[in-house]
């Protein structure tokens, strides 16, 4: 597990967010957050390992916001707000990680690419990086 994933899971522990790491399940089984049960299920066997930090940060975002994760529920058109709110928290957590460990990026695009953050969040990252 990467340093950043460990950092995020420690953040979850510090904030009393329950989680279970699943490493024996199918690699395409999505992670999910169930705030009402204070539980996240993280598939550490995810087929895109480079996405794992963003996945964990995203699910923590749901837990902090109190929204369930519907990322893979294609029917939930109205749930896009919850997804985007979770991604905004995720970006904050990843920026905080970089700050804590003195990791610098030459551009916000590199930050997006490093953590597999969708490019449509470019303007948010840009704004937050300028403020820091």
Nearer Cβ to Zn ion (36/102): 36
- Which one, 70 or 108, has the nearer CB to Zn ion? 70
Element housing 65 (H / E): helix 52-65
Query: Could you list the residues that contact Zn ion (CB under 5 A)?
Result: 69, 71, 83, 86
For 8, 49, 58, 82, 120, the CA distances from 1, given in Å and listed in that order, are: 11, 9, 17, 27, 27
The contacts of residue 63 (CB under 8 Å, 6+ apart) are 12, 15, 17, 33, 35, 38, 40
Residue nearest Zn ion, Cβ-based: 69
Task: Give the nearest distance from C-beta 107 to Zn ion in angstroms.
Answer: 26
Which is closer to Zn ion, CB of 17 or CB of 102? 17
Q: How far apart are CB 3 and Zn ion at their closest, in Å?
A: 23
Q: Which is nearer to Zn ion, 4 or 82 (CB)?
A: 82
Q: Considering the complex, what minimum distance in angstroms separates the CB of residue 44 from Zn ion?
A: 17
Least separation in angstroms between CB 110 and Zn ion: 24
**Can you state the percent helix, strand and coil of the chain, rounding each to 5?**
60, 10, 35
């Amino acid at each position: 597990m990467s340093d950043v994933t460990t950092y995020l899971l420690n953040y979850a522990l510090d904030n009393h967010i329950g989680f279970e790491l699943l490493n024996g399940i199918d690699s395409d089984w999505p992670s999910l957050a169930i705030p009402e049960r204070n539980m996240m299920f993280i598939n550490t066997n995810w087929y895109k390992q480079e996405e794992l930090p963003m996945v964990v940060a995203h699910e923590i975002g749901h837990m902090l916001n109190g929204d369930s994760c519907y990322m893979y529920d294609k029917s939930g058109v109205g749930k896009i707000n919850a997804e985007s709110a979770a991604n905004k928290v995720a970006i904050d957590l990843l920026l905080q990680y970089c700050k804590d460990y003195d990791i610098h990026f030459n551009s916000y695009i590199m930050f997006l690419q490093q953590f597999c953050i969708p490019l449509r969040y470019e303007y948010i990252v840009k704004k937050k990086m300028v403020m820091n």
